[in-house]
Chains A and B, each alone.
Chain A
Amino acid sequence: MCLLLSPPPPQVSVINTVDTSHEDMIHDAQMDYYGTRLATCSSDRSVKIFDVRNGGQILIADLRGHEGPVWQVAWAHPMYGNILASCSYDRKVIIWKEENGTWEKTYEYTGHDSSVNSVCWAPHDYGLILACGSSDGAISLLSYTGDGQWEVKKISNAHTIGCNAVSWAPAVVPGSLIEQPSGQKPNYIKRFASGGCDNLVKIWKEEDGQWKEEQKLEAHSDWVRDVAWAPSIGLPTSTIASCSQDGRVFIWTCDDASGNSWSPKLLHKFNDVVWHVSWSITANILAVSGGDNKVTLWKESVDGLWACISDVNKGQGGVSALPEGQQNEQ
């Protein structure tokens, strides 16, 4: 979290726009680990990958395989190779891999009964694991076991009506202040957060190979559209951002290591549905995008209030500071 005398100045500016030539709405755009490639997915059923180094935009791949709008894409950690997961209205999750310079489908998961809305790769320390949230209310966890084989674990009825978002907690070794003897595989406690149509944000924990609901976070009055667990900067606190159809974005913090008491803070109430929230690498900036066609960046100030440090209007690419009245509503 940042410590500043006053909200920082609008130093943020648009550095590039990418013309994807998608024929329909773009639902997700994700940079890879190094920020050199951009994957986009759209209602036109395709997933496109661009090389965006040095302000360029070269189309590397146009992946076809879904039979409906593709909702999200997610890059895996580069140590597993170039791997991209995509999920779609057609109930499928497809995992694509780059082999010998070409992108190919390497696995297709069809275990859900309706639209799969969200995919998120687990921290690389856990192995290659993908969480998928679906409108059938279930969350699947696909683990790569080697040789092209994937093991599936399913959490049924994770959210009534449907699950809209999944986000993994960063890998934190319990007692990480003490040196682990090298070579030993540390015992991680795997956790992830999910948001659903039951207006809830739930936190799941793996215990003895089974996934259990650990916490239920209630604050939203409408469907939760996205959840994002902030990266860890070594503090014992955990932070989750959630956004909803009700126009609100909440920041949840948990101070104790056992993960028992989460308290919400309202970031802002927007005038329209908020679709996505996303943290920067060091978790000091939160990006929020919504139906009002704006992307805003937020930072926490010294008095614990969240301030907007920029906004980018659709199609304008300009920069302006929010007028005073719109900041820090509680």
Chain B
Amino acid sequence: MCFFLIFLILPSVSARDPALHSQYSTQVSILSAMELIWNLCEILFVEAAAAGPLLLRLLDWVRLHVCDVDNMVREVLSSENPSKHELFWNVVDVFVLQGRMDEARHLLAKEASANPTSVNMYKTLDDLMKKMPVPSLGNTQTLTEMELKWQHWHEECQRYLQDGTFASNSHMESICKILLGDEDAILEKKELLATWYQFLVTRLLYSHPTVKPMELRFYAQSSMDLFLGGESSPEPLDTILMAAFEFEMHQVIKECSIALSNWWFVAHLTDLLDHCKLLQSHNLYFGSNMREFLLLEYASGLFSHHSLWQLGVDYFDHCPEYGRVYLELHIERIPLNTEQKALKVLRICEQRQMHEQVRSICKIMAMKALRNNRLGSALSWSIRAKDAAFATLISDRFLKDYCERGCFSDLDLIDNLGPSMLLSDRLTFLGKYREFHRLYGEKRFSEAAKLLLMLMTAHIAPCSFWMTLLTDALPLLEQKEVIFSAEQTYELMRCLEDLTAGKSDKQKFQDDDVETMKVEMLRLALARNLARVIVKEGTLEGS
């Protein structure tokens, strides 16, 4: 687990910042507690270890998680002369309490070689420890066989103790008592046990190694009572572990929910139990919805984080009933600070066919771009949102800009609109108008002329823009070579008449000189063009 890394960082942090150190220490202890609970749940619920292997699993569990004594052990083992170390017997006791027989025997051998006079005593104890029957993992022996062997061994230990074999060495005598499962002897080593659940496992090892899962609760309760001895009350961790030993899964979840400050641990634990089909066997009318409820809570919490929201998405995906709607509600509220983030969110929505959300987000981005005068960006967002109204608005802005400045911005975008041009009439006009300019620039005048005319006659161009288009036609009319055909010229004249006729007298009055001059110039140019083209068309080729 990741908290090993914290162990590495911790020493360097503590030197610099005591507050940070204590914060990290708290985190580490919480994580350790979580791992302790998780492993116990794995052993008891998921693996559902049966009598026999159950004890071995519990022994592993204790050895893995109860690390208080590791420093002491290391100190003694690494000293020059371990058997002379003042904590030597403590370490031996620790090994015995944790059922680590080989290591205990190894240390005792050192002591034996240092004290040749007590060699016999050591040999006896060593023998007892070697012969101690333990449950096997494979099917090599049945429980009954094991119990029988264990009974014999227990009686043997009893005999040696009563014969006074270890009378001269109090340490070894107490070890023998521990081997016999004497509760008082074990409790004497309280500091080395550190916790009531270690005490429980030691007790079970030396008095009921074939304990059945359902019997655990009684031993657990009495162990806790004996160990705490009424001096201190159980802490939240103790309550959780007790609930686990009592196989009350829902109680475990409930207690964890109360003790921990977020849903992370509980959500994942419940999910695991649900996948093992363990929660459904409990008699609650909403059954497996407990899992979804906790996952929804956890994932909702993730969405308030600036980057962890992406994990939240995956969690919602795995909630079959409400996941999708929760995701729809949450994903729209992620602040879209950058385009990359918006694109990320969009990709997620598109993958899940959340069309409403896609449209909404694109509209928001388009509006933002428009506010910052980035017309090209706004246009591409509104195309993506398939928002015709907005596209029209932006096209108008482009055209207005063109009228004011005489040039287009974001030419690349407009040139490459493709089929999305058809989203809105105004947008189509914008695209075609830009095409007209391109044709003109490439000196493809007759094509440009045709396009220009088409824009007016097919009513693609808005009426307000006709004057501009006609003015654009002027240079084409004034070219040396005749471009507009007679028919086209008639069309243009008609357009001009439509335009001027449409104005009321009042408007004509308000038109300034520039406007009237423009109209005059156009009429003149059109007439001249008509004259030339009639002559041209009337002339035979080659003459």
Which chain A residues have a beta carbon within 8 Å of chain B's beta carbons? 2-6, 8-9, 11, 33-36, 77-81, 98-100, 124, 182-183, 231-234, 281-282, 302
**Contact: B334 with A34, CB < 8 Å?**
yes
Please give, as numbers and ranges, the residues of chain A lying within 8 Å of B293 by CB-CB distance. 2-4
- Kindly state the separation between the CA atoms of A67 and B254 in the bound complex, as whole angstroms: 53
CB distance from A217 to the nearest CB of B (A): 26
Q: Are B333 and A33 in contact (CB under 8 A)?
A: yes
List residues of chain B with CB within 8 A of the CB of A35: 304, 333, 335
Residues in chain A near residue B334, CB distance under 8 A: 34
Partner of A78, one of B258, B296, B364: B364
* Given contact pairs A3-B289, A34-B335, A234-B325, a sample of 6 additional A-B residue pairs in the complex whose CB atoms are under 8 Å apart: A35-B335, A78-B364, A100-B371, A182-B386, A234-B324, A282-B300
How far is it, in angstroms, between the C-alpha of A232 and the C-alpha of B329 when the chains are bound?
A: 9
- Known contacts: A5-B290, A6-B254, A34-B334. The answer to whether A81 contacts B371 by CB under 8 A is yes
Question: Are A79 and B360 in contact, with the CB atoms below 8 A?
Answer: yes
Q: Which of B257, B333, B335 contacts A8 (CB 8 A)?
A: B257
Interface size class of B (residues with CB under 8 A): 35 or more
Of A80, A99, A233, most B-chain CB atoms within 10 Å: A233
B322 and A233 within 8 A (CB): yes
From B332, which residue of chain A is reached at the shortest CB distance? A33
Does B329 lie within 8 Å of A281, measured CB to CB? yes
Chain A to chain B contacts (Cβ below 8 Å), 23 pairs? A3-B290, A4-B293, A5-B290, A8-B257, A11-B261, A11-B263, A34-B333, A34-B334, A78-B364, A78-B368, A79-B367, A81-B367, A99-B371, A124-B360, A182-B386, A231-B329, A233-B329, A281-B300, A281-B329, A281-B330, A282-B329, A282-B330, A302-B286
Q: Across the interface, do B326 and A9 meet the contact criterion of CB distance under 8 Å?
A: no
For A80, the chain B residues whose CB sits under 8 A away are 367
| Binary A-proximity of B370-398 (CB < 8 A = 1, otherwise 0) | 01000000000000001000000000000
Q: B323 → chain A, closest Cβ, in Å? A: 11
Assess whether B284 is interfacial by the CB under 8 Å rule.
yes
CB-contact partner of B325 in A2, A124, A233, A302, under 8 A: A233
CA distance A231 to B297 in the complex (A): 17
- Nearest CB of chain A from residue B374's CB, rounded to whole Å: 13
Cβ-based interface call for B250 (8 A): yes
Classify the interface of chain B: helix, strand, loop or mixed.
helix
Q: How far is the CB of A270 from chain B (nearest CB, A)?
A: 26
Closest 3 CB pairs of A and B: A34-B335, A79-B363, A234-B325
Interface centre among A5, A33, A35, A36 (most CB of B within 10 A): A5
Query: In the complex, which residues of chain B have a beta carbon less than 8 angstroms from the beta carbon of A4?
Result: 290, 293
Q: How far is A147 from B450 in the complex, measured between Cα atoms in Å?
A: 35
- Give chain A residues whose Cβ lies under 8 Å from the Cβ of B307: none
What does DSSP make chain A's interface, helix, strand, loop or mixed? loop
For chain B residues 304-321, which have a beta carbon within 8 Å of chain A? 304
> For chain B residues 338-387, which have a beta carbon within 8 Å of chain A?
355, 360, 363-364, 367-368, 371, 386
- Flag whether B115 is at the interface (Cβ < 8 A): no
Nearest CB to that of A15 among chain B residues? Answer: B304
Q: Quick check: is B262 within 8 A (CB to CB) of the other chain?
A: yes
- Distance in Å: Cβ of A170 to nearest Cβ of chain B: 10
- Are A36 and B335 also in contact (CB < 8 A) when A80-B367, A233-B325 are? yes
Most chain A C-beta atoms within 10 Å of own C-beta, residue among B296, B324, B335, B386: B335
The residues of A that contact B322 with a CB separation of less than 8 Å are: 233-234
Contacts of A33 in B (CB 8 A): 332-333
Within 8 A of A (CB), among B490-518: none
A282 and B367 form a contact (CB under 8 A): no
C-alpha spacing A94/B429, complex, angstroms: 37
Contacts of B364 in A (CB 8 A): 78-79
Name which of A8, A35, A78, A231 has the most chain B CB atoms within 10 A of its CB.
A78
Verify B333–A281 contact, CB threshold 8 A: yes
Among A36, A79, A80, A282, the one with the most B-chain Cβ atoms within 10 Å of its Cβ is: A79
Given the complex of chains A and B, what is the CA–CA distance between A18 and B304 in angstroms?
19
Whole-angstrom distance from the CB of B320 to the nearest CB of chain A?
12
Q: Chain A residues near B250: list those with CB within 8 A.
A: 5
Q: What 0/1 readout, one digit per residue, does chain B (245-281) give for beta carbons within 8 Å of chain A?
A: 0000010011001100111000000000000000000
B286 to chain A, nearest CB (A): 5
CB distance from B339 to the nearest CB of A (A): 15
Smallest Cβ-Cβ distance to A147: which chain B residue = B393
Quick one: which of B508-534 are within 8 Å of A by CB? none
Complex: A80 Cα to B387 Cα, angstroms: 13
CB distance from B172 to the nearest CB of A (A): 50
B530 to chain A, nearest CB (A): 41
Whether the pair A78, B367 counts as a contact (CB closer than 8 A) is yes
**Bound CA span A78–B363, Å:** 9
- Select from chain A the residue with minimum beta-carbon distance to B355: A182
Which chain A residues border B261 with CB–CB below 8 Å?
A: 11
Q: Which residue of B lies closest to A53 (CB)?
A: B335
Q: Which of A6, A183, A234, A302 contacts B386 (CB 8 A)?
A: A183
Q: In chain A, what residue has the closest Cβ to B253?
A: A5
